[in-house]
């Protein structure tokens, strides 16, 4: 089952691709030798020399050793691994989009610009914000951009004192990391017993040094911050701004809007909520949406609709500038736009409804077998703790995860959020049918029983994969990261 590295199949002289011969007058054929010798590369690079069929078999075999949403259920909490419609893939391969250069005259790219403009309009409606930028290439890139807007806003006001960002302990690791990259100091906010932001604790931290509070809502426990309007009021009274991490927007898409909750800026994950494929870890897209307060600071260029068509507008005096090379991950926008067109306003609501229904159904059915520490108002995901199993039978969250692999499932997110011991964070999404959920529940129950009757067998999992559990210490110690 081990597929060799392609470089190890290399044979001198074998070709998988053949360029047409250079058909220039002979003097130009050797023109490259004119690059002065001290600027020339010395020696070659070891790349595979194989046939086209070798390449095809290699990557086809590798793809057989990957589990995607198309292979089976992927309840990876906070990642919203929903079905990625094939229509989006088909459209994203159209030459009328893939063969368009980013620096063509805008009169020749009206199609691309209209997709971007209309997507921004729809995203504004969905989030209740005034406008946004599609430039950020992933969620954390969106966080970086959103926090930069906040920074610029306070700089513009001459308020240099606001150097702190408040972040709940349950937040994604990208939140504090993005704050740090922007030069903010991170202050953690504790959760209360219900798993929500502790309002009094928050208020005590809202000094005049605080620039923003970053919140995910529903939070990473899958719970809606029911005090959100009070939180928003407190944050704004203290002169700070409210940031919405859109990782979990799928729970409320089309049902409630961050803008109405008082958020000043947010980022979305088109690769989660708007069903664009995750691609093995990107390309994603992390649009930033803002209210009127922050709109002047949005990245350049803006996309505008003028008489005569769509255009880029570079004339924004207070803009933070560019955050990516060109305009963002266009082919991802296209897929998200196609998804929104297919779903329509009612469909987006239905997606949120069924994502929440599925999570609650799973939680209810798993409750007799697993501890769910926070259950007050579960939305699209929930977190179970196998702490009891660890204490009694020595079986950890990782063991449960690996056992699920042998059942044919991608495991939930493990050991996150940090406020739950031995956590497994489960997000079924709206894509899974009742039958699929029931099968998953049965698998979870089987594993729970095995954890009690034969804990050793879980320690050996997975056994159905090309390799068993891997030695992480060895990987770090030897750090063999290239051939």
Partner 1 sequence: MIYPYIPHTDEDRAHMLEALGLSSIDQLFEVVGEDLLLEDSVPIAHRRTEDEVQRMIDSIAQRNIRGIPFLGGGCYDHIVPATVKALSSLPSFVTAYTPYQAEMSQGLLQAIFEFQSMICEITSMDIANASLYDGSHAIVEAALLMVNAKRGAKKVLVSETIHPFALKALKTWVLGTEYEIVLVEEKDGITDFSNLAIGDDVGGLIVQSPNRYGFVEDYTGMAELLHERKALFAISSDPLSLAIQKTPGQWGADIAIGDTQSLGLSLAFGGPSCGYMAVKQPLLRRIPGRLVGITADAEGRRGFTLTLQAREQHIKRERATSNICSNQALAALMTTIHLSSLGWNGMVEAARQSYAKAHYLAHHLGHLPGLDVLNAHPFWCEFPIVFHDAKRMRKFLQELRNEGIFAGVRLSALTRKSADELVLLVAVTEKRSREELEMYIAAAQRVMK
Q: Using alpha carbons, list the distances in angstroms from residue 359 to 221, 247, 376, 443, 457.
A: 12, 16, 13, 16, 28
CB of 204 to partner 1, least distance (A): 21
Decide if 121 contacts 265 (C-beta within 8 A).
Answer: no
Task: Name which of residues 330 to 359 contact partner 1 (CB under 8 A).
Answer: 330-332, 338, 340-351, 353-354, 356-358
CB of 396 to partner 1, least distance (A): 14
CB of 89 to partner 1, least distance (A): 7
Task: Name which of residues 159 to 188 contact partner 1 (CB under 8 A).
Answer: 172-174, 176-183, 186
CB of 235 to partner 1, least distance (A): 16
CB of 425 to partner 1, least distance (A): 12
Task: Name which of residues 272 to 291 contact partner 1 (CB under 8 A).
Answer: 275, 277-284
Decide if 80 contacts 65 (C-beta within 8 A).
Answer: no
CB of 444 to partner 1, least distance (A): 16
Concatenated DSSP letters of 239-273: T-EEEEEGGGGGGTTTT--HHHHT-SEEE--TTTT
Task: Name which of residues 388 to 447 contact partner 1 (CB under 8 A).
Answer: 401-402, 405, 410-411, 413, 416, 430-434
Cα 233 to Cα 402: distance, rounded to the nearest angstrom: 44
Q: Which stretch binds partner 1 (CB under 8 A): 201-209, 238-246, 382-390, 470-478?
A: 470-478
CB of 71 to partner 1, least distance (A): 6
CB of 243 to partner 1, least distance (A): 14
452 Cβ contact partners less than 8 Å away, ≥ 6 residues apart: 389, 392, 393
List the one residue from 77, 141, 294, 403 that touches partner 1 (CB under 8 A): 141
Task: Name which of residues 43 to 82 contact partner 1 (CB under 8 A).
Answer: 44-50, 52, 55-56, 58-71, 74, 76, 79, 81-82
Does 24 engage in binding with partner 1 (CB under 8 A)? yes
C-alpha closest to that of 425 among 442, 437, 412:
412
CB of 451 to partner 1, least distance (A): 19
Concatenated DSSP letters of 323-383: SSSSSS-HHHHHHHHHHHHHHHHHHHHHHHHHHHHHHHHHHHHHTTTSB-S--TTB-S-EE
C-alpha closest to that of 400 among 443, 442, 453, 464:
443
CB of 388 to partner 1, least distance (A): 23
At 177 the three-state DSSP class reads: helix
Task: Name which of residues 250 to 269 contact partner 1 (CB under 8 A).
Answer: 252, 254-257, 260-261
Tell me the number of residues near partner 1 by CB under 8 A: 203
Does 469 engage in binding with partner 1 (CB under 8 A)? yes
Residue with smaller CB distance to partner 1, 143 or 422: 143
Phi–psi pair at 367, nearest 5 degrees: -55, -40
258 Cβ contact partners less than 8 Å away, ≥ 6 residues apart: 127, 128, 129, 217, 244, 246, 249, 266
Does 32 engage in binding with partner 1 (CB under 8 A)? yes
Does 317 engage in binding with partner 1 (CB under 8 A)? no
36 Cβ contact partners less than 8 Å away, ≥ 6 residues apart: none
At 283 the three-state DSSP class reads: coil
Does 366 engage in binding with partner 1 (CB under 8 A)? no
Task: Name which of residues 76 to 115 contact partner 1 (CB under 8 A).
Answer: 76, 79, 81-85, 87, 89, 91, 93-105, 107-112, 114-115
List the one residue from 158, 306, 317, 325 that touches partner 1 (CB under 8 A): 325
187 Cβ contact partners less than 8 Å away, ≥ 6 residues apart: 164, 165, 166, 167, 205, 210
Residue with smaller CB distance to partner 1, 23 or 200: 23
Does 454 engage in binding with partner 1 (CB under 8 A)? no
List the one residue from 39, 193, 200, 306 that touches partner 1 (CB under 8 A): 39
Cα 322 to Cα 326: distance, rounded to the nearest angstrom: 8
Binding mask 203-232 for partner 1 (x = CB under 8 A): --------------------xx-x-xx---
């Amino acid at each position: 089952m081990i597929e060799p590295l392609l470089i190890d199949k290399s044979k001198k002289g074998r070709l998988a691709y053949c360029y047409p011969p250079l058909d220039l007058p002979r003097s130009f054929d050797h023109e490259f030798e004119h690059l002065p010798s001290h600027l020339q590369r010395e020696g070659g690079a070891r790349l595979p020399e194989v046939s086209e069929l070798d390449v095809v078999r290699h990557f086809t075999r590798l793809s057989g050793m990957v589990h995607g949403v198309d292979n089976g259920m992927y309840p990876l909490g906070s990642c919203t691994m929903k079905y990625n419609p094939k229509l989006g893939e088909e459209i994203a391969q159209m030459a009328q989009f893939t063969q368009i250069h980013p620096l063509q005259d805008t009169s020749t790219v009206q199609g691309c610009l209209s997709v971007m403009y209309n997507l921004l309009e729809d995203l504004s409606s969905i989030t209740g914000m005034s406008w946004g930028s599609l430039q950020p290439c992933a969620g954390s890139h969106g966080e970086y951009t959103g926090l930069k807007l906040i920074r610029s806003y306070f700089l513009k006001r001459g308020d240099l004192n606001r150097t702190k960002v408040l972040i709940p302990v349950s937040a994604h690791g990208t939140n504090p990391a993005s704050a740090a990259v922007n030069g903010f100091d991170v202050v953690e906010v504790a959760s209360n017993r219900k798993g929500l932001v502790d309002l009094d604790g928050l208020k005590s931290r809202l000094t005049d040094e605080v620039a923003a509070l970053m919140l995910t809502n529903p939070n990473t426990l899958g719970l809606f911050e029911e005090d959100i309007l009070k939180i928003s009021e407190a944050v704004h009274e203290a002169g700070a701004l409210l940031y919405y991490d859109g990782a979990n927007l799928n729970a409320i898409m089309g049902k409630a809007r961050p803008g109405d909750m008082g958020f000043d800026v947010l980022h979305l994950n088109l690769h989660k909520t708007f069903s664009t494929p995750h691609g093995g870890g990107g390309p994603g897209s992390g649009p930033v949406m803002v209210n009127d307060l922050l709109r002047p600071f949005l990245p350049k260029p803006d996309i505008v609709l003028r008489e005569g068509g769509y255009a880029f507008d570079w004339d924004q005096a207070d803009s933070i500038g560019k955050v990516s090379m060109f305009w963002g991950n266009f082919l991802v926008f296209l897929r998200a736009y196609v998804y929104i067109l297919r779903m329509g306003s009612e469909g987006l609501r239905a997606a949120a409804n069924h994502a929440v229904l599925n999570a609650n159904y799973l939680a209810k059915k798993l409750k007799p077998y697993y501890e769910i520490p926070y259950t007050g108002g579960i939305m699209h995901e929930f977190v179970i703790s196998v702490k009891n199993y660890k204490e009694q039978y020595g079986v950890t969250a990782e063991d449960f995860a690996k056992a699920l692999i042998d059942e044919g499932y991608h495991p939930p997110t493990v050991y996150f959020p940090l406020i739950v011991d031995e956590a497994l964070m489960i997000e079924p999404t709206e894509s899974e049918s009742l039958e699929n959920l029931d099968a998953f529940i049965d698998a979870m129950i089987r594993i729970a029983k095995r954890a009690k009757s034969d804990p050793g067998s879980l320690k050996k999992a997975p056994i159905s994969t090309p390799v068993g559990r891997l030695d992480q210490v060895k990987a770090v110690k030897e750090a063999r990261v290239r051939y």
